Amino acid sequence: MDDLISDFVAECREMLEALGGEIVAWEAAPDDRARLDSIFRFVHTVKGNCGFFDFPRLEHLSHAAEDALADVRANRRSADVGLVSAVLAVIDRIGEMIGTIEAGEKIPDGDDSDLIDALAPGAETSATPTAAVVADGTVGKTATPRTIRLSVELLDRVMSGVSDMVLARNELARRLREAPGDVAVDGAFERLSLIIAEMRDSITRTRMQRIENLFVALPRMVRDLSGELGKQVLVDIDGGDVELDREMIEMIRDPLTHIIRNAVDHGIETPAERLKSGKREIGILSVSARQSGNQILIDIQDDGRGINGQRLVEKAIASGSIEKKDAGHLSPREQLALIFEPGLSTAKEVTAISGRGVGMDVVRSNVERIGGIVEVDSRLGEGTRMTLRVPLTLTIIPALTLTIGGQHFAIPRSAIEEIVRTNGDSVTREQVGGAGIATIRGRRVPEVALADVLGLESNLPSDARTLIVLRPAGGDLYALAVDRIDDHEELVVKPAAPAVMATGLYAGTTLADDGSPILLFDPAGLATVAGVKLEMHERGARVAEGQAAQNDNEVPVLLFRGLDGSRRAMRLAIVDRIEEVPIASIKKSAGRLRAQLGESILPLVGADGVDLPADKIRLFRLNDGESEIGYAFHEVIDMASIDGDVIGAEKPGEVAGVTLIGGEPAELVDAHWLFATHRAGGRRGKKMPVCKLPSDDPWMQNMLRPIVEAAGYRVIGDGVEEKADLVIASEGSDLPAEEGGRLIRLRSTPETGSADDASIYRYDRAGLLMALKTASAGGK
């Protein structure tokens, strides 16, 4: 009898999972006879089994629901909102009783007359659902395949056995590689490997479930939320036939539920608000799944009000997540990313559903814990799309094993872009501001030394290590320096101890073919712990540029030592990249030193009158947007900023002046003079004239601005609402002079366009200084 009851409970559980969505979909399409029949069959089955098992209360309740549905099937009554709500309430009560039976307890005595009375025609219901919710045919209409029930424990034991077989195969493969070759043995091993691989795939499939098991409860949940909030929501579900590891389904259930609750509560407006904004009163919530490589992509999209990035920024400033001076330079994508900061919420009031400022940070951490990411895209007034990217399975994955400091680790092969040797000609490495930068075939990426992150003693010098170029899911590239690459293997991954996972470095643990433990790195977590958070780096770079454009006192510079030993600084925005070229590529031609870099020949400065190195020379590649100059140097000291006064040089030249950086004097390189010479300080008073420059023109901000400031002007951007005494614009620009002010036009070529052309060649330093002085004195 116990076995029969267990089968009854399991069968009811399976049917209950699909039934909530079926009833809600039937409410939206009352003429759908197939859905009505499936609901009727469930309550009929429960009623019949209850009589056999002697569950009188459960039998009485299901019998009442069966009678009401039979009237609908016989066209004696219609499926109105009241009936659907009453049937849902009965199904919920049946689910509670099934749970009691499953726990081995007796169904308590109780009165279900209120639920039974609600099934009668014309009965009043306390539910006030206003949502029209449908699901497409993907969920609930597919033919059920022949199945048998297995306990999860048995399935896990079988999977563990296959995992041990994979490890044994790996060990046998290693021993065969070390032993003398035998064709017959090798052939037998290949056949064994193929059989194990096929068995592994088959057993892995037993762990897979259709994602409809995750989606099936969503229509009911949205219906209930919509009724509680007085909204109308139409749900569209697609991709229920996509399969995912059953453990993964359970892990993403809560994040998905939270995102959908947010979409209904915060995203989709009330019918009145939607009509006022020109939308139809019924909101649309789309949930879809698709497979992309070894990832599953789940999209949740609504057509609601969208996320207000500015409000998120205000909340972030108030909570201390970001500085107020940095807030104005965040891109729209960075503003939306603030939604994942702990404690941020744009809800106007706290409800029972959401708005407490908790949740989205937990959603992201839960998804990232299983190797996935959460992406958000939103347009104010049009809607929001959340995308969950999760791995297909967490069981057996292809990985690369490596060694650092005598210890073995592994990295998922799906995150590896390429493997390069640091001693190759295509790779150069730099240390800028204490951070490593690797240039691989002209592409610059942050470099992380794994030994430094783990606190291990590396067995190799840094220039003898191997670089693994990684791209975490949805992220940018970075290079990981390791001692040795061991092998490509298929590893059986299991969760590591909580203390190990709490470090943020690892995605799990596995065993080597000799039985020794190996930790599997999480590429995204490794980058975060190492300080490589590329979105923040990009944000910081933009903030620095924005601060320079708004005439902040701090100017980011690259502090370096020249070939003559002088301590100098170069505006960071001028430096395109750092190159290392053979000394044979440096030649004197046409009266000056030049450097050959690939197909380009650049004027070389900073190397006159000094002894050049014997083998290679390092140089900054300076770029003004149109041309390039090479600037030779000995070493980079640090990245810094100019926050004090600059004492100007007595005459124009390579050095614009001297200032204190880090408590020591440093010469500031005059990039404008360099380009004016090698291409083909400030006045203070109670009131300084104001010059307006285009904020989005890099040449104006990085090349011209120091000259204008040295001439005694205070520089502002063209987006600043302040009257300017002088406006400088490029030839062809529509930036006009302001009332009572002056205008200087700059052209990019030395030749004038016509006889009455009053523009100035932008590298005519004398002409520029004269025009600035004249404008300052009030002349034309």
pLDDT tens track for 185-196: 878 888 888 888
Tell me which residue has tokens 């297995």: 150
CA 167-170-173 angle, 5° bins: 150
How far is it, in rounded angstroms, from Cα 747 to Cα 626?
Answer: 13
42-51, 160-169, 533-542, 686-695: the lowest-pLDDT one:
533-542
- Burial of residue 701 (number of CB atoms within 10 Å: 0-12, 13-18, 19+): buried
Q: Note whether 727 and 741 are within 8 A (CB).
A: yes
* pLDDT score recorded for residue 599: 72
What Rg, from alpha-carbon coordinates, does the chain have?
A: 35
* pLDDT score recorded for residue 434: 56
* pLDDT score recorded for residue 301: 92
Beta strands, E only, 32-113? none
CATH code of the domain occupying 396-426+440-535:
2.30.30.40
**CATH of the domain spanning 2-118, picked from 1.20.120.160, 3.40.640.10, 1.10.10.10, 2.40.30.10:** 1.20.120.160
Q: What is the pLDDT of residues 607-638, one digit of tens each?
A: 888 888 878 888 888 877 677 888 998 888 87
- Look at residue 566 and tell me whether its pLDDT is greater than 80: yes
* 700-719 average pLDDT score: 85
Look up the CATH architecture of domain 210-391.
2-Layer Sandwich (3.30)
618: helix, strand or coil? strand
* pLDDT score recorded for residue 541: 35
In 179-206, alpha helices (H): 183-206
* 226-240 average pLDDT score: 86
| The two three-digit tokens of residue 768, written as one number | 């520029």
Query: Domain locations in the chain?
Result: 2-118, 152-207, 210-391, 396-426+440-535, 550-678, 690-776
Give me the chain's average pLDDT, please. 77
Q: By C-alpha distance, which of 539, 554, 532, 640 is closest to 316?
A: 539
Distances (CA, A) of 367 to 260, 388, 389, 411: 15, 8, 8, 19
How far is it, in rounded angstroms, from Cα 619 to Cα 326?
Answer: 32
How far is it, in rounded angstroms, from Cα 432 to Cα 636?
Answer: 7
Q: How many residues does the chain have?
A: 780
106 versus 271: which is more confidently predicted?
271
Q: What is the pLDDT of residues 387-404, one digit of tens each?
A: 888 876 655 677 888 888
274 versus 627: which is more confidently predicted?
274
Q: What is the pLDDT of residues 79-102, one digit of tens each?
A: 777 888 888 888 888 888 888 887
- Look at residue 178 and tell me whether its pLDDT is greater than 50: yes
* 57-62 average pLDDT score: 82
* pLDDT score recorded for residue 300: 92
> Would you list the DSSP string of 553-573?
S-EEEEEEE-TTS-EEEEEGG
How many C-beta neighbours within 10 Å does residue 683 have? 14
- Look at residue 437 and tell me whether its pLDDT is greater than 50: yes
* pLDDT score recorded for residue 371: 67
* pLDDT score recorded for residue 133: 41
* pLDDT score recorded for residue 681: 33
135 versus 760: which is more confidently predicted?
760
313 versus 14: which is more confidently predicted?
313
- Look at residue 357 and tell me whether its pLDDT is greater than 60: no
How far is it, in rounded angstroms, from Cα 510 to Cα 524?
Answer: 19
Q: By C-alpha distance, which of 362, 358, 327, 365 is closest to 344?
A: 358
* pLDDT score recorded for residue 547: 37
Q: Residue 494 carries which DSSP code?
A: B
How far is it, in rounded angstroms, from Cα 512 to Cα 515?
Answer: 5
**Cα dihedral sign for 352, 358, 362, 364?**
positive
* 9-34 average pLDDT score: 73
292-296, 344-348, 508-512, 588-592: the lowest-pLDDT one:
344-348
Name, of 207-216, 270-279, 319-328, 693-702, the range with top average pLDDT.
270-279
* pLDDT score recorded for residue 643: 67
- Look at residue 495 and tell me whether its pLDDT is greater than 70: no
Q: What is the pLDDT of residues 523-564, one digit of tens each?
A: 877 887 877 754 433 333 333 333 333 334 467 788 888 888
* pLDDT score recorded for residue 486: 82
* pLDDT score recorded for residue 143: 41
- Look at residue 204 and tell me whether its pLDDT is greater than 50: yes
* 560 φψ region: left (φ > 0), alpha (ψ -120 to 50), beta (else): beta
- β-pairing verdict for 647-648 and 655-661: antiparallel
- Look at residue 511 and tell me whether its pLDDT is greater than 60: yes
Q: By C-alpha distance, which of 476, 416, 484, 485 is closest to 443?
A: 476
Q: By C-alpha distance, which of 736, 732, 756, 734 is closest to 746?
A: 732
* pLDDT score recorded for residue 779: 58
* pLDDT score recorded for residue 539: 38
Q: Which helix (H) or strand (E) holds 234?
A: strand 233-238
In percent, the amount of the chain with pLDDT more than 90 equals 3
Q: Residue 146 carries which DSSP code?
A: P
* pLDDT score recorded for residue 536: 39
How far is it, in rounded angstroms, from Cα 474 to Cα 448?
Answer: 19
606 versus 434: which is more confidently predicted?
606
How far is it, in rounded angstroms, from Cα 578 to Cα 408?
Answer: 34
Q: What is the pLDDT of residues 637-687, one digit of tens each?
A: 877 777 677 887 777 888 888 888 877 888 989 888 888 877 643 333 347
Q: What are phi and psi of 256, to 5 degrees?
A: -65, -45
495 versus 611: which is more confidently predicted?
611
| The two three-digit tokens of residue 232, written as one number | 């109308």
